[in-house]
């Protein structure tokens, strides 16, 4: 794409999603997330609004409620709808290297962007979690 000032900047769409909702008066936060080798990442949690991310380097095991876990690799984009959806995993799949990604979180003003889910709620919603891959 050529711009009016003669720049030859390249714009590449990595993902296009329409979130199911945006909180009223939403606020956004952009963060980097760095996982040491083999790190399990954040415990199960949820967000008040959608989250969009891009894997800068490494590999992450990504799992949302109702979906099978998957691997997100460097150069790939990912997202989650937020709201009443548990985010189970953001683990570094690599045991010998750091994994890093950037996220843009959209949330409810005045509320935490990320809240942890307790064991009681996890047990009550276990039927909503996709089958787990065999550990053996």
pLDDT digits (tens, 9 = 90+) for 100-124: 999 999 999 999 999 999 999 999 9
Sorted by where each begins, the domain ranges of the chain are 27-128
3-state secondary structure of 75: coil
For the ranges 4-13, 68-77, 86-95, 123-132, which has the lowest average pLDDT?
Answer: 4-13
Contact 11, 1 (CB under 8 A): yes
3-state secondary structure of 74: coil
- Residue 60 pLDDT > 80: yes
3-state secondary structure of 119: helix
- The residue that leads in pLDDT, 71 or 12, is 71
- Residue 6's pLDDT is what? 74
Task: Give the mean pLDDT of 30-59.
Answer: 96
CATH fold for the domain made of 27-128: Jelly Rolls (2.60.120)
Contact 96, 37 (CB under 8 A): yes
| Banded model confidence at residue 19, pLDDT cuts 50, 70, 90 | confident
Instruction: Sort 80 into a burial class: Cβ within 10 Å, 0-12 / 13-18 / 19+.
Output: buried
Q: How many CA atoms lie within 13 A of 23 on its CB side?
A: 22
Distance CA 32, CA 106 (A): 15
Contact 99, 62 (CB under 8 A): no
- The residue that leads in pLDDT, 100 or 18, is 100
Task: Give the mean pLDDT of 60-70.
Answer: 96
């Amino acid at each position: 794409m050529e711009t009016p000032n003669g720049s030859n900047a390249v714009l590449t769409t990595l993902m296009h999603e329409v979130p199911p909702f945006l909180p009223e008066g939403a606020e956004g936060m952009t963060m980097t997330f760095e996982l040491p080798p083999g790190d399990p990442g954040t415990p199960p949690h949820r967000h008040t609004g959608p989250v969009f991310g891009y894997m800068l380097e490494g590999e992450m095991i990504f799992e949302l409620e109702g979906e099978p876990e998957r691997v997100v690799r460097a150069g790939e984009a990912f997202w989650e709808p937020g709201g009443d959806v548990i985010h189970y995993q953001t683990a570094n799949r690599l045991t010998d290297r750091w994994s890093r990604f950037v996220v843009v979180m959209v949330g409810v003003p005045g509320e935490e962007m990320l809240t942890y889910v307790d064991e009681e709620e996890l047990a009550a919603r276990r039927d909503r979690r996709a089958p787990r891959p065999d550990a053996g």
